[in-house]
Amino acid sequence: MELELQPLALPGVPEERPIVIAGPCSAETEEQVMSTAHSLANRGTKIFRAGIWKPRTKPGGFEGIGVDGLAWMKRVKEETGMLVSTEVATAKHVYECLKAGIDILWIGARTTANPFAVQEIADALKGVDIPVLVKNPVNPDLELWIGALERINGAGLKRLGAIHRGFSSYDKKIYRNLPQWHIPIELRRRIPELPIFCDPSHIGGKRELVAPLCQQAMDLGFDGLIVESHCNPDAAWSDASQQVTPDVLNYILDLLVIREGKQSTESLSELRNQIDECDNQIIEVLAKRMRVCREIGTFKKEHDMTILQTGRYNEILDKRGAQGALCGMGSEFIKKVFEAIHEESVRQQMEIINK
């Protein structure tokens, strides 16, 4: 299904990149919401975010302040002039938000993964003109992401956007949610006019990753950023480790380098130079590896050993497959590469042994 879209057209928000949405993970108290909102507004933020209903992995945690928080969002709007946004996961959330004058809604990653829930939200939004941002589903499934956008669009909503918040994985060594940038890039290719926001807070899961992820998103041509910012991050009731103060956010945004389209051919050729340099290094390292293999061949010949030592070969495949996965590459791809390298190494050793 072809999406029928219109620009987000956010009143009072400049059209230039990045469109920034900032605010705490959760609305906790009226003081926390107002203090964070005023600090952000004073530093130029035009769109405020705060979670009112929080989908938590386990029961017993803080599950959001609920409708009381909507009155605080109203106050934010009145006192700062910012637009306000929050997450909806049910039809009831939608009705409450519309009643409270929330300006922008977003659908959370866990909800996007559930077509029944998305359809319920779409039905509740029929006939309403409000911007809706759809986060990627927790699992790396582009069709599910597009399907959710289609459901909302099918209800007549045309001001849509996507939020890339990374994809859940068992391995959480660097990122809380793996970026898998090729997925939002493919979304851009499939639906070029759809604005895409990056959520560096939920991808990174830690403060120090917010800045580099924002820069990466800008370099990839994303339209906006949605960043968690809290007046006292360490004391946050949810996602404390990934929230930054309004001051730090301001600093991060100030340092961003925004490369606009007209420079892209220049930066493209610069990137191609970098690729050439990488390829050069790959060849040199491979040649070095083959020299070492031939030395091993000489050793095996002198000691009358067989060329193929399966234990060692399997160890290489497993170890490098896992390492590749850690670095964001498919372990199957790495295994294929190492199989090819191994084949050539064996061929070179055979030459030595049969000399």
Task: Give contact residues for ligand PEP (rule: CB under 6 A).
Answer: 25, 51, 55, 108-109, 135, 165, 202
By beta carbon distance, the residue nearest ligand PEP is: 108
Q: Are 232 and 224 in contact (CB under 8 A)?
A: no
Q: Are 306 and 300 in contact (CB under 8 A)?
A: yes
- Which one, 88 or 109, has the nearer CB to ligand PEP? 109
Please give the Cα distance from 48 to 103 (Å, whole number). Answer: 10
- Which one, 181 or 313, has the nearer CB to ligand PEP? 181
- Minimum distance from CB of 88 to ligand PEP (Å)? 11
How many C-beta neighbours within 10 Å does residue 4 have? Answer: 11
- Which one, 17 or 54, has the nearer CB to ligand PEP? 54
Please choose, from the candidates 81, 83, 56, 20, the residue with its C-alpha nearest in 3D space to the C-alpha of residue 227: 20
Please choose, from the candidates 269, 343, 246, the residue with its C-alpha nearest in 3D space to the C-alpha of residue 38: 246
- Which one, 197 or 338, has the nearer CB to ligand PEP? 197
Query: Which one of residues 20, 22, 25, 50 is an interface residue with Mn ion (CB under 5 A)?
Result: 25
Q: Does 227 bind Mn ion (CB under 5 A)?
A: no
Please give the Cα distance from 46 to 163 (Å, whole number). Answer: 18
Q: Are 24 and 236 in contact (CB under 8 A)?
A: yes
Q: 103 touches which of ligand PEP, Mn ion, none (CB within 5 to 8 A by kind)?
A: none
- Minimum distance from CB of 312 to ligand PEP (Å)? 43
- Which one, 184 or 205, has the nearer CB to Mn ion? 205
Please give the Cα distance from 9 to 187 (Å, whole number). Answer: 21
- Minimum distance from CB of 235 to Mn ion (Å)? 15
- Minimum distance from CB of 316 to ligand PEP (Å)? 37
List residues binding Mn ion (CB under 5 A). Answer: 25, 239
